[in-house]
Amino acid sequence: MHELIDHPCVQHKLAIIRDVETKHKRFRELATEITQFLCYEALKNIKVREVTVQTPLAEALCKKIDTDLVVVPILRAGVGMLEGILELVPTARVGFVGLYRDEETKLPVSYYDRLPLQTKNGTCIIIDPMLATGGSTNAAIDLLKKSGATDIVVICIVTCPEGLALVEKVHPDVPVYTAAIDDHLDDNKYIVPGLGDAGDRLFGTSH
């Protein structure tokens, strides 16, 4: 299952972040802002509990989040989305998954993982700006499920039909929230039109 967040504010920011003239400082700011919109939608059905709060005038029956949240950025580009989620849910715990794509096979290679114990009982949110082939996303989901996670959500800024199809085939129970479903993957497995190499654009690096 996937959900396209087509809100005008999201699409406006998406137009700017795609622009080749957008430099790394602004790119990071936009990644944070877009992530907040996506997270807002992705977490709309999480568990809450009722609490009583004393206002200056009277008691009020309110609701607070009652779910352990674990945010898992896929290194390195996923780190560029982390601030956006933590500004919304600052009590969330953070795990990390390191994956890179082998340039010959185009398959994901794992080189690092560090997950908090709350993975087993909480809602795990995988973040990565690009969901291209779906290989890295599936590898991250596999890792979380092996650690005991049962409630997993994926948030990405840009994806494509090929990547979504693979994730939904392998992990039909994991919803994907995205700001864009682009046209296709090119011969090098890059999303077209995409937004370029998200990691390089976030951190001002290049090959």
Q: Which residues are catalytic?
A: 101, 105, 197, 200
CB atoms within 10 A of CB 135: 22
Long-range CB pairs of 12-15 (<8 Å, 24+ gap) are 13/37, 14/157, 14/158, 14/179, 14/180
Pairing of strands 123-127, 151-159: parallel
User: Partners of 178 in the beta sheet?
Assistant: 4, 156
d(CA 65, CA 45) in angstroms, rounded, equals 10
What is the three-class DSSP state of 6? coil
Alpha-carbon distances of 46 from 42, 64, 65, 183, 199, rounded to whole Å: 9, 10, 7, 31, 30
